[in-house]
Amino acid sequence: MADILTQLQTCLDQLATQFYATLGYLSTYHDNSPAIPPNVPNAAPALSKMTKNTTSPPIPASVAGASGPAASPPPPPPQQPGAGAGLQDPDQPPEPDSARTFASRQRELARDLIIKEQQIEYLISVLPGIGTSEAEQEAKIRELEVQLRDVEGKREAKALELRKLRGKLENVLGAVAVGIHGDEKGRR
C-alpha cells in the first residue's frame, strides 16, 4: 500500500508541476488577443473603464496583424548598447507563438494533463479498501492481526532455535580449536 501511496504522491506532485508549466507557457506565449470577442456588447468592461497599470497597453497580435499595410508598424523594442541585431532584450517577453503552434501546444499540454489525471484515478482505484465497507475493512484488519501474531510466534521460535544452534556451533568450534591448539601447546 505504501508503494501505491508513494506513486500517488509522485503523480500529484507531477500534476501540480504540469499545471504550473502549462500556465507559464500559456501566459508567456499567447498573442494577447482578447478572450472575449470585441463585437459582443456588455461581454466585458470597456478598456476605457478599466484602470491602467501601464502607459501603453499591449496591442493584441490579431488586431495589429488585421490593421493592414496602411497602419504603421509598431516601433521596434529599444536595443541595448552593444546588443546584436539577432538578440532579444532579456527584459522583454518572448515573441508569441504562431496561432497554429500555440493551438498545437495547447492540445499537447491538455493531453498530458488528462493522461496524468487518468494515472491518478487508476492509482486511487487500486488502493486497498476502495469499494469495501468499513466493517469489511475492520474484519480484514482483525484477520491480518491474527496472522501477524502467528508469524511473530514462528519468528520467535526460529530465533530461539538459531540461538541454540549458534551455541552448539560455538561449542564445536571451541572443541576443535582446543584440539588443534592444545596439541601444539603440549609439544612445546
Contact 25, 109 (CB under 8 A): yes
Banded pLDDT at 1 (limits 50, 70, 90): low
- pLDDT tens-digit profile of 14-26? 999 999 999 988 8
Max avg pLDDT among 33-47, 94-108, 112-126, 168-182: 112-126
Between CA 143 and CA 47 the distance in angstroms is: 69
Q: Which residue has the higher pLDDT, 169 or 40?
A: 169
For the chain, the average pLDDT equals 77
pLDDT value, residue 27:
86
Question: Cell numbers 549458534 correspond to what residue?
Answer: 166
Centroid of chain to Cα 101: 25
Output the CA torsion 26→32→34→35 (10° steps): 0
Grid cell for residue 8: 500517488
pLDDT value, residue 72:
46
Question: Cell numbers 538578440 correspond to what residue?
Answer: 87
**pLDDT more than 90, % of the chain:** 38
Domain limits, the chain: 1-32+94-131, 133-188
Contact 11, 120 (CB under 8 A): yes
- pLDDT tens-digit profile of 114-147? 999 999 999 998 887 777 888 888 999 999 999 9
Grid cell for residue 159: 530465533
Centroid of chain to Cα 27: 21
- pLDDT tens-digit profile of 72-107? 444 455 555 544 445 667 777 788 888 889 889 999
Between CA 131 and CA 134 the distance in angstroms is: 10
Give the predicted TM-score (pTM) of the model.
Answer: 0.47
Q: DSSP string of 51-115?
A: PPSSSSPPPPHHHHHHT-TTSPPPPPPPPPTT--TTPPPTTSPPPPPPHHHHHHHHHHHHHHHHH
